[in-house]
Each structure stands twice: as structure tokens, then as C-alpha cells.
Chain A
Amino acid sequence: MKMAAVLLAAIVVAALLLPPLLPWGYAAIDWDAVRTPAFSPGHVLGTDSVGRDLLARTLAGTRVTLAVATAAALVALVIGTAWGATAGWFGGRIDEFMMRIVDALYALPFMFVVIVLMVVFGRSVLLVFLGIGAVEWLTMARVVRGQVLALRNRPFILASEAAGAPARAILTGHILPNIASVAVAYLMLTVPQVVMVESFLSFLGLGVQEPLTSLGILVHDGADDMDIAPLTLIVPGFVLVATVVCLNRLGEGQRSRMAR
């Protein structure tokens, strides 16, 4: 797990601090160097089909991907926790109703709905957030609801009621702290999921738009050019996979520590 944290930290630090040190920005076009291989003058990893520095673009794409992923995951966390905690706390009919909705939504081919939304309403970053958040909050809701249900009838909650605590106090004082660690663990697992979803959308041309770039767009462009400049596919692909693997590892490490 330490290796994952170190690698991820390296990627993040590189994405944030390295660009000012590079000779070429991510959008700048070097007319003399189109599709150059690695270690060409001024371009450590070569350039893409238009002459933009691959390293700079990869780092820029990483920044965007991670930013979108973290924000969307937080959206999913807030919505999912509110929904799940309410369902778990009240139980009975309310719980059944709320979770039926979650079950029904789970069955939807969400990706398709998101794609349709993108096509219909144009490609805005806000829509990317909403779309992705809409897909991911379901799992969070289920997890939180399960935890709250399990806690609901524990003796210390009953004792708190006997001590006269109102529902609000019990939720904030007892329930939330006890589910916080699980919620955080799932949050850490949601971020890589969102990375995958965002990259998928970008790959299809439906996510983030120019001049911004993301790892998904880079992989798409790289796939187009891979016969001549394979690095344009391999580099962003590797960074994407490595980021997701590290995030997954960290999230799971957190989750197994919680289970104890």
C-alpha cells in the first residue's frame, strides 16, 4: 500500500509542479516537430500529431481528470450519504421506498442516459459532473444505508435514546462518526470509478472539451495515431491505469482497516 501512495503522490506532484519547468505548454504547437519520437530536442516524450508536447499534455490531462474525479466523487458522497442515512434511520416503509428507487436506478443503463443527456444538452463541464455523480451516488447510498441499519438497533443507540437524545443529536453524535470511516473508504474507491467513467466519456468525445484535455481524450487521440507514434497511446494509457490502480489500492487498504 505504501508503494501505491508513493506512486500516486508522484503522479499528482508531477502534474501540479512539473509543467512550469517544461519548455512547451500543453496547448502550444511546435510546427517543426510533428510526431517526433521520445528524447527529441525540447520534447522528452515526443509530440503528438499536431506538434504538441506529449509530456505537457499528459500532465494537463491528469490534472483535469483528477479534479473532475474528486469533485464528482464528493458530489456522490454527499447525495449518497444523505439518501442512505435517511433510509437506514427511518427504516420500514420509508426505507423500502427509498431503496426501491435506488434498485430501479441501478438497473438503468446509465451510461446511455448520460450520453443522451450530453448529446441533447451540449457538452458542459457541469453536465459531466452531474452525469457522473448521478451514476456513482447509488453505491454510496447502499453502503451508507447498510451501515446505518446495522447501527440503528445497537444497544448504544438505544441507550442514547433512553438518555433523551433527539434524533438529530444521535445522527450527528453517534451515527455519522461511526459510518465516517466506511464512507471515506468507499469515497476513495469511488474516485477511480469516476476516473474511468470520465475517461470513457472523453474517449467517445462526449466529456471534457478543447482546449481542456483529459486522459480519455489523450488515449483516443493516441489510438488514432498509434501506428506512427505509439507513445501517444502508451504514455497517457499508462498514467491512467497507474492512477486508477493506486487509487484502488489505497481505497481498499482503507476499507480493510475499517473492517477490523
Chain B
Amino acid sequence: MPCDKLRANGLADGRVIAILLRRLATALPTLFAVILLSFLLMRAAPGSPFDSERPLDAATRAAMDKAYGLDRPLIVQLGRYLGHVLQGDFGPSLVYKDFTVSGLVAQGLPVSLTLGGLALVFAAVLGIAGGIIGALRPGGWLDRWIAIKSAVAVALPSFVTGPLLVLIFGLWLSWLPVSGLDSAASWILPVIALGTPAAGAVARLTRAGLAEAMAQDHVRTARARGFSPLTVLLRHALPPALIPVVSYLGPAAAGLLTGAVVIETVFGLPGLGRYFVQGALNRDYPLVLGVVILYAGLILFFNLIADLLYGLLDPRVRG
């Protein structure tokens, strides 16, 4: 019974919960700091969101400011903003006049999350498989070939791979769609472009982790017992080898979210990243703030999951 197992190892009162709480204790102030920082930065920026081609005259600007509540003291603005955020209301977009930020987020977030999620899965599956295959015959030609491919993959930024893939598969060969989200196939190129560097990193981490795990005493014990090489690798060597991979995937999720910004632009996907860049260039405060807070929250959440997974893979961490 899993409960008995937990109790037998001193986890009856849930050290896991302790880890969760400790993570939250760091995460929440961080989130607050992010909100505060973004808020202050935006307010400190020269110029006003309403300056389009030329600055507005004083009277019009005062009226606009009042309408949007931009004339109150900073503290008050911050307080009101926080209040709204906690209710899920990020305010109206200043540039996309008919939309609220929450509305834009609701439109764009699913796309970005799907893109990021698929890329993460792509990276994890391809990377771990690559690492395992290489480790089956250490030093063999397959191992070295995978190692070289991984090293190159890590160095391929998405903003280089993306256009190249569009060039080759879209313009020259016309095999795959390169713009918009018309069909399921539209996801293929963006996911590959986004996930390739992470896949390379995961493959190298897995391979290195396996190399180290295979040299450990307990693997020698397993070999001495006469188990097959595959059993030894998968059951005894792989779980500790995956620990650095899991540690990596937390921040990797952050990197994927960032890279998604570029990919969405290159492939014309209606995701959140595109709104963010537009918002930043047009000083659309609420939109930018909303996206930053959202992303910070997501990253903190991914890191939490990574921590929990870490505990599963290495019981020693649990105490």
C-alpha cells in the first residue's frame, strides 16, 4: 500500500507537503516582486501609451489619464491593480481597444501553452530516448553520432531553425504548412523548431547521467547478480540519471515559453507571445503586465512540479 510505504519511510506527516510549502514560500514573494517590478517599470517609462504619432496636448492627456485611472498616486494604482488581479481581472488593453487583457489572454494562452507543452514533450521523449540509445553501446558509432547531433541541436536557436524550416519545408518543398493554425500539421514545424535545443540538452544530460550511474557501485551489484543489461540500465541506472534532467526541465520550461515568442512570430501563430511583443512596443501596460505575471506564475508552477518529481526519483531527498 502506498501509504504504508510512505509511513515506513518517515513520510506519514508528509515531508512532501513541507517541500511544497517551502517552495510556495519562495514562489509567492517572487511573484509579488515580479508584479511590483513590472508595475514600477511601466509607470517609470517616458512617454504615455496614448502617444501614437505625436504627443497629445495636455488637456486631452489629462482626460485620458483620468479615464484610465492613471492620475492617482502610484500606491493607490498598485493597490487597485492587485485587487483586480486577485479577481482575475487584468484590466482593459490600452491598444486593442475592444478587448480586456483577460480576453486576449484567454485567446492566446491555449495556443502558447499547447506549443510549449508539445515542445517540452518532444524534447523529453526524443532527448531521453537518444540518451538511452547512446548508453546501450557506450563509445559505439551510434553513441558518437547522437552526441554530435545533440551538441549541434543545443546550439540551434529557434529563431534560426524556424526560418530555415520554413524555407526548406514550406517554400522549397511545400510539404508542411508554415503559417497559421489551419490543421494539426501546422504544429509540426513550430514544435520542432522550438523543442530542438531542449531535446539536445536533454539527450546530453541523460547520456551523461547514465554514464555516471553505470559507474556506480549499485549497478555493479546488479550486474553481479546476473541481470540483463537492459534491466540494469532501465531499472537501476536510469532513475538517478534522470534527476539532472528533471532539474533541467523546470528552467527549460521557462526557456520554451520565451522561445515561443519568436516561434509565434515566425510561424504566424495567434499565441500570447505575439501579443506580448506588440504590447511591449506599444506600451500597452495592462497587457504586458498581465502576460509577465502569467508567465512568472507558470514558471513557478513548473518548477514546483519539477521539485516534486525530483523527490520521486531520489528518495534520499525526502529524508
Q: Specify whether A and B are partners.
A: yes
Measured CB to CB, the residues of A under 8 A from B are 100, 103-104, 106-109, 111-113, 115-117, 119-121, 192, 196, 199-200, 203-204, 216, 219-220, 222-223, 226-227, 230, 233-234, 237, 240-241, 244-245, 248-249
Q: Does A109 lie within 8 Å of B159, measured CB to CB?
A: no
Q: How far is the CA of A176 from the CA of B282 in the complex (A)?
A: 47
Residues in chain B near residue A117, CB distance under 8 A: 41
Contacts of A220 in B (CB 8 A): 159
A192 cross-chain contacts in B, Cβ below 8 A? 155
Q: Specify which of B27, B160, B283 is in contact with A107 (CB 8 Å cutoff).
A: B27
Contacting residues of chain B (145-197) with chain A, CB-CB under 8 angstroms: 151-152, 154-157, 159-160, 162-164, 166-167, 171
| CB of A106 to closest CB in B, whole Å | 7
If the complex has contacts A107-B27, A107-B299, are A116 and B160 also in contact, measured as CB distance less than 8 A?
A: no
Q: Are B163 and A116 in contact (CB under 8 A)?
A: no
A-B contact pairs, 26 of them (CB 8 A): A107-B27, A108-B34, A108-B296, A112-B258, A112-B295, A113-B38, A113-B292, A119-B45, A119-B283, A120-B44, A192-B155, A196-B155, A199-B159, A203-B262, A223-B159, A226-B166, A233-B163, A233-B164, A233-B167, A240-B157, A240-B160, A241-B156, A244-B154, A244-B155, A245-B155, A249-B151
A247 to chain B, nearest CB (A): 8
Chain A residues, Cβ within 8 Å of B283: 119
**Known pairs A107-B27, A108-B296, A230-B167. 10 more at Cβ < 8 A?**
A104-B30, A116-B41, A196-B155, A196-B157, A199-B159, A219-B163, A226-B163, A226-B171, A227-B167, A233-B164
Contacts of B288 in A (CB 8 A): 116
Chain B: which residue is nearest A230 at the CB level? B167
Which 6 pairs, one residue from A and one from B, show the smallest C-beta to C-beta distance? A244-B155, A223-B163, A120-B45, A111-B258, A104-B30, A245-B155
Q: Considering the chains assembled together, what is the distance between the CA atoms of A19 and B23 in angstroms? A: 53
A237 touches B33 (CB 8 A): no
Contact A112 B292 (CB under 8 A): yes
Q: Within the assembled complex, what's the spacing in Å between the Cα atoms of A204 and B299?
A: 22
> Residues 129-156 of chain B: 1 if any A CB is under 8 Å from the residue's CB, otherwise 0?
0000000000000000000000110111
Interface size on B, residues (CB 8 A): 47
* Nearest residue, chain B, Cβ from A122: B46
Query: Could you tell me if B26 and A103 are in contact, using CB atoms closer than 8 angstroms?
Result: yes
A108 CA to B296 CA, complexed, in Å: 6
Residue of A nearest to B158 (CB): A200
Identify the B interface with A (CB < 8 A): 26-27, 29-30, 33-34, 37-38, 41-42, 44-46, 151-152, 154-157, 159-160, 162-164, 166-167, 171, 251, 254, 257-258, 261-262, 266, 276-277, 280-281, 283, 288, 291-292, 295-296, 299-300, 303
Interface centre among A108, A230, A237, A248 (most CB of B within 10 A): A108
A200 contact set on B, CB distance < 8 A: 157, 159, 258, 262
Q: A230-B167, A240-B157, A241-B160 are in contact. Are A204 and B258 (CB under 8 A)?
A: no
Which residues of B sit under 8 angstroms from A219, Cβ to Cβ?
A: 159-160, 163
CB-CB < 8 A to A241: which residues of B? 152, 155-157, 160
Also in contact, A100 and B163, with CB within 8 A (given A107-B299, A113-B292, A116-B288): no
B26 x A199 contact (CB < 8 A)? no
B211 to chain A, nearest CB (A): 11
**A252 nearest in chain B by CB position:** B151
Residue in B closest to A119 when the chains form the complex, CB atoms = B280
Does A112 contact B291, Cβ atoms closer than 8 Å?
yes
Query: With a CB–CB cut-off of 8 A, which chain B residues contact A100?
Result: 26
The interface residues of chain B lying within 8 Å CB-to-CB of A121 are 45
Measured between C-beta atoms, what is the minimum distance from B289 to chain A in Å?
9
Q: Bound complex: CA of A230 vs CA of B254, how far in Å?
A: 31
Q: Output the nearest chain B residue to A241 by Cβ-Cβ distance.
A: B155
Are the CB atoms of A237 and B164 closer together than 8 Å?
yes
Tell me the minimal C-beta distance from B248 to chain A in angstroms.
12
Provide the bound-state CA to CA distance between A121 and B299, in Å: 26
B300 to chain A, nearest CB (A): 5
Residue of B nearest to A111 (CB): B258
- B276 and A112: CB pair below 8 A? yes
Residue from the list A104, A112, A115 in contact with B26, Cβ < 8 A: A104
User: Given A109-B299, A204-B262, A245-B152, are A116 and B42 also a contact pair (CB < 8 Å)?
Assistant: yes
Q: In the bound complex, do residue B30 and residue A107 qualify as a contact, i.e. CB atoms below 8 Å apart?
A: yes
Q: A233-B167, A245-B152, A248-B151 are in contact. Are A113 and B159 (CB under 8 A)?
A: no
* Residues of chain A lying within 8 A (CB to CB) of residue B164: 233-234, 237
A116's partner among B152, B262, B292 (CB-CB below 8 A) is B292
